[in-house]
Amino acid sequence: MLAHFSDRQDSFTSALQVFPLFLIYQLGILLQGGRGHNGVDFVTRALIELCARDLDHYLLTLASLFVGYGCLLLILRPRGRFRSESMLPVLLESMFYAATMGTLILCVMQWASELVPTLAIGSLTTVDVVVISAGAGLHEELVFRLVGMAGLGWLLAGITGPRRAWLFALILSSLLFSVAHHVGPGVEAFSFTAFTYRALAGAFFGLVYHLRGFSVAAWTHALYDVYVLTLV
């Protein structure tokens, strides 16, 4: 267990550890007829187009991905490159971050301006909560942290230096993460408190991603959403 905290999760291990989120989300939106589809989920759109909008082809593609995932785990396990037991510390660590994140952000907001956000969430079933949370954890971290934060930091590193590039990427990706929740049809109306809360949440996820890796950030995001949506 202690060895888990000795280093940041590498990219390959993270990719394997977040596959369950991908599977849960894909099966969830399939069973719900597309309900719960994440706004920044470009992967599912690509899969639908790849399968020519044919349900049988889509199911076959998902089944192939699942079988491929299982075969990859079997191949890698004897070589020591991946251990299924590594999922437990990732989940425990993510649960801790998810449980403390909201409280920390609210304390910061109350200390700074005595503002408490009221996030507008409609009535959701248990399945809705699981699907929405899995989709947010995977796709929003993929877009805003892996692509947005890491990509922007990489592009700016040669201009501003790695430290300034990382800080700028963290701030910008967090702001874009918050803006995305107020853009498009059926989204929450803009309010300063909700925007600030989500920007701080984006910064928190960004720090988790930078220090602990993509899988920990994705599971933290997903479990946090489960926690919040269950309480609403």
Q: What is the domain partition of the chain in residue ranges?
A: 2-231
pLDDT tens-digit map of 50-108: 776 777 887 888 888 888 888 877 777 666 666 667 788 899 999 999 988 877 877 77
Burial class, 67, CB count within 10 angstroms (exposed 0-12 / middle 13-18 / buried 19+): exposed
Predicted local confidence at residue 158, as pLDDT: 85
Predicted local confidence at residue 91, as pLDDT: 93
Nearest by Cα to 171 from 155, 189, 186, 153: 153
Predicted local confidence at residue 120, as pLDDT: 54
Predicted local confidence at residue 110, as pLDDT: 66
Chain mean position to CA 192:
23
Query: Which parts of the chain fold into alpha helices (H)?
Result: 11-17, 19-31, 42-50, 55-79, 87-113, 126-135, 141, 150-160, 162-180, 192-212, 214-231
Tell me how far apart the alpha carbons of residues 118 and 120 are, in angstroms, rounded to a whole number: 6
pTM, full prediction = 0.86
CA distances from 58 to 64, 66, 72, 136, 155 (A): 10, 13, 21, 21, 36
Tell me which residues of the chain have a pLDDT lower than 50.
Answer: none
CA distances from 68 to 28, 57, 74, 78, 154 (A): 20, 16, 10, 17, 31
